[in-house]
């Protein structure tokens, strides 16, 4: 059993080196493994591999698993194999086992002796309710969950901004609500219309609408979900949403507009009611489950029937992807988690994925879910940049 004692000794030395942030000189000096096997072991004891495995080990009974590993290795010599294994084959197996032994010993040592293993925390968390309110005088107010705000016409409870209706508005004054990356917010306009704004979006709107005139707001950029107060409650005045290349005319309905600056297409999806879209002389009417797509480069408008749930899931707290490219998925995640995302290979951008993911989960959980489907091999997080591999 000398070989097993040597493996355990080496594992302990490697564990101690990792705890003390030292190099793996003991592995380099060992004559137990070939150069290829040493390279394999070092890869599995790298900082990135340790961080990933620590997350997994944290979810299991480490002491029980350590005993199982030790018992399995101890029993190896007691089993009479039908076929004698060569030493080279055994050492290949040992090269796989030793990183696990080292890591398990490291975690047990860490817990038993209250020694802190320094693992850099990942600061990437899910988005929250936050926004910047810009008043008509140019002043800006940060709206957050623990930072309520109120003036004569509007108040915020940290999740929703609510405007009151003035009895005699003296002038048409505009406010802006800007949602940063990693944020979302709701707004109740003075006519009772509700708007949900997604990350990286901006809405321009009047503090009060003028009676007898259309109720007009502008989605400057980003994504918004509208639940419009019916025109029958406002003397028949239509509700209009302006974007760069279209005008949406509404009587009272529920719909979603996605018009991000870094995307080549703008989408308008009707959930309830009926809307009319005008763009460059083209007129299109939508009924529920229909969606228009406008090519922002050419202005061309097309209409199709879609599964509405996929396009408005974000309002209910989910990402709902249906045969969506990883490039488009990562655009969505980058806005919500406020991160930059790159691909180690351009081929990965076109890989397509379907799945329902919770927006409240941290980004590691979502990326591990995608990784477990084997659509990607790995991912790497450094500061606020994620590389898909």
**More confident: 268 or 120:** 268
- Angstrom distance (rounded) from CA 272 to CA 294: 20
- Count CB neighbours of 232 within 10 A: 10
Is pLDDT above 80 for 262? yes
**More confident: 85 or 170:** 170
Stretch 253-257: mean pLDDT: 96
Q: Which of 56-60, 157-161, 262-266, 313-317 has the lowest mean pLDDT?
A: 56-60
Is pLDDT above 70 for 385? yes
- Angstrom distance (rounded) from CA 255 to CA 224: 9
pLDDT of residue 165: 84
Stretch 6-16: mean pLDDT: 64
pLDDT of residue 366: 87
Q: Is the dihedral of CA 48, 52, 54, 57 positive or negative?
A: negative
Is pLDDT above 90 for 146? no
- Which of 52, 61, 26 lies closest to 41, judged by CA? 26
- Which of 317, 313, 328 lies closest to 360, judged by CA? 317
Return the structure tokens found at 326. Answer: 């990883």
Stretch 117-131: mean pLDDT: 69
Among left, alpha and beta (phi > 0; psi -120 to 50; other), residue 147 is beta
**More confident: 86 or 239:** 239
| Residue 310, phi then psi, degrees to nearest 5 | -65, -30
- Angstrom distance (rounded) from CA 355 to CA 370: 9
The rounded mean pLDDT for the chain is 79
Stretch 66-84: mean pLDDT: 46
Please say whether the beta carbons of 142 and 184 come within 8 A: no
- Angstrom distance (rounded) from CA 202 to CA 197: 8
pLDDT band at 59 (very low <50, low <70, confident <90, very high): very low
pLDDT of residue 44: 60
b/e code 342-361 from CB counts within 10 Å (16+ = b): ebeeeebeebebeeebebee
Stretch 71-88: mean pLDDT: 45
- Count CB neighbours of 20 within 10 A: 9
**More confident: 21 or 310:** 310
Return the structure tokens found at 289. Answer: 């489950």
Q: Which of 173-182, 263-272, 319-328 has the lowest mean pLDDT?
A: 319-328
Q: What residues form DSSP beta bridges with 147?
A: 144
Q: 178-181 — which CB contacts under 8 Å span 24+ positions?
A: 178/131, 178/132, 178/134, 178/202, 179/130, 179/131, 179/132, 179/222, 180/130, 180/131, 180/132, 180/338, 181/127, 181/334, 181/335, 181/336, 181/338
Pairing of strands 290-295, 265-272: antiparallel
- Angstrom distance (rounded) from CA 275 to CA 286: 5
pLDDT of residue 287: 95
Return the structure tokens found at 382. Answer: 């450094």
Is pLDDT above 90 for 132? yes
**More confident: 76 or 169:** 169
pLDDT band at 7 (very low <50, low <70, confident <90, very high): low
Q: Which of 82-91, 167-176, 333-342 has the lowest mean pLDDT?
A: 82-91
> Which pTM value belongs to this model?
0.68
Return the structure tokens found at 156. Answer: 């915020």
pLDDT band at 151 (very low <50, low <70, confident <90, very high): confident
Q: Which of 37-46, 222-231, 276-285, 321-330 has the lowest mean pLDDT?
A: 37-46
**Structure confidence by residue, pLDDT tens digits, 347-360:** 889 988 888 889 99
pLDDT of residue 275: 95
């Amino acid at each position: 059993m000398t070989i097993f004692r040597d493996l355990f000794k080496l594992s302990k030395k490697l564990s101690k080196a990792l705890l003390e942030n030292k190099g793996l000189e003991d592995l380099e000096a060992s004559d137990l493994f070939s150069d290829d096997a040493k390279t394999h072991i070092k890869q599995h004891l790298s900082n990135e591999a340790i961080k990933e495995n620590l997350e997994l080990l944290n979810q299991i009974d480490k002491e029980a698993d350590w005993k199982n590993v030790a018992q399995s290795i101890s029993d190896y010599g007691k089993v009479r194999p039908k076929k004698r294994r060569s030493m080279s084959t055994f050492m290949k197996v040992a090269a796989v086992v030793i990183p696990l032994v080292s890591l398990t010993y490291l975690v047990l040592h860490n817990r038993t002796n209250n020694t802190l293993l320094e693992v850099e925390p990942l600061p990437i968390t899910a988005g929250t309710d936050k926004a910047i309110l810009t008043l008509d005088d140019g002043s800006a107010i940060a709206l957050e969950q623990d930072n309520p705000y109120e003036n004569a016409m509007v108040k915020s409870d940290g999740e929703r901004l609510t405007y009151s209706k003035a009895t005699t508005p003296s002038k048409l004054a505009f406010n802006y609500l800007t949602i940063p990356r990693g944020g979302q917010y709701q707004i109740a306009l003075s006519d009772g219309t509700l708007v949900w704004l997604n990350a990286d979006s901006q809405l321009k709107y009047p503090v009060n609408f003028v009676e007898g005139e259309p109720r007009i707001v502008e989605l400057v950029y980003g994504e918004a979900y509208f639940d419009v107060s019916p025109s029958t409650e406002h003397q028949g005045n239509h509700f209009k949403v302006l974007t760069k290349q279209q005008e949406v005319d509404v009587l009272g309905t529920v719909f979603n507009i996605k018009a991000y600056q870094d995307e080549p297409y703008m989408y308008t999806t009707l959930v309830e009611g009926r809307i009319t879209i005008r763009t460059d002389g083209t007129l299109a009417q939508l009924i529920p489950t229909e969606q228009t797509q406008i090519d922002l480069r050419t202005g061309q408008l097309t209409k199709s029937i879609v599964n509405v749930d996929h396009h408005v899931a974000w309002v209910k707290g989910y990402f709902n992807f249906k045969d969506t490219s990883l490039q488009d998925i990562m655009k969505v995640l980058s806005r919500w988690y406020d991160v930059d995302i790159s691909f180690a290979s351009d081929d990965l951008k076109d890989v397509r994925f379907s799945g329902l993911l919770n927006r409240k989960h941290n980004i590691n959980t979502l990326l591990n879910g995608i990784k477990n489907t084997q659509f990607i091999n790995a991912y790497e997080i450094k500061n606020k940049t994620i590389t898909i591999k």
